[in-house]
Amino acid sequence: MKWLLLCAMAMFLLNLSSCTVYSDITMKEPLKLSLTKEMRENHISPENSELLGALQDIVEKNPGLGEIGKFSLLYSGINGRSNGQYTTVFFAVNRTENTIKNIRFTLNVSVAGTYLMREYTVELDDEYYGDLAVNSAFPVVVYLNETQWDLLSHITNENLSITISEYSDETV
């Protein structure tokens, strides 16, 4: 799984169109981009949102993202800055056997040993996100301060570490 994640990150960061991964894991179904409840209610889709279009392209080019049997959080490589707000986007990936909702966990992201986020509580509540189906990924936008934003420019495959702990969800 580590090699798959590293390969996927290399593709995002280096704009590669493909990457060879040798693995004994076979995906049962390709990953699909899932829109949050809020996006669906506001009719926001990959067709009318540049960000969602870019995320859809990543998912289509990398249908094997995520570890079978687990929930995971993956860095998309998509970062933005608008009106003084800094953001980065992660994928919340559901490769479990059940549709889930009300996902909560503690996130640690470090770059070369320097924390981008430490003990950051993430709550993907049902009110905003809705259900996350099996073999699907939600976009998770995280707002950053200027110091965190500057750290993003130093991310490489070798120095990025993402860990989640204190994970909980509800099965639908």
Segment 113-162, tens digit of pLDDT: 999 999 999 999 999 999 999 999 999 999 999 999 999 989 988 999 99
Q: What number of other Cβ atoms are within 10 A of residue 156's Cβ?
A: 13
Tens-place pLDDT, residues 93-102: 999 999 999 9
Among 172, 5, 151, 170, CA closest to 74: 5
Of the chain, the percentage scoring pLDDT greater than 90 comes to 80
**Are 91 and 140 in contact, with CB atoms under 8 Å apart?**
yes
* Residue 22 in this model has a pLDDT that exceeds 90: no
How many angstroms separate the CA atoms of 25 and 18, rounded? 18
Report the pLDDT averaged over residues 67-71: 95
Longest dimension (CA), the chain: 46
How many angstroms separate the CA atoms of 155 and 149, rounded? 11
Report the pLDDT averaged over residues 37-65: 95
Which pLDDT value is given to residue 81? 87
What's this model's pTM, rounded to 2 decimal places?
0.81
* Residue 60 in this model has a pLDDT that exceeds 50: yes
CA distances from 16 to 8, 9, 61, 140, 153 (A): 9, 10, 10, 23, 18
Which pLDDT value is given to residue 28? 67
Q: At 56, is the secondary structure helix, strand, or coil?
A: helix
User: H helices of 47-117, where?
Assistant: 50-61
How many angstroms separate the CA atoms of 137 and 58, rounded? 11
Which range is least confidently modeled, 27-31, 129-133, 166-170? 27-31
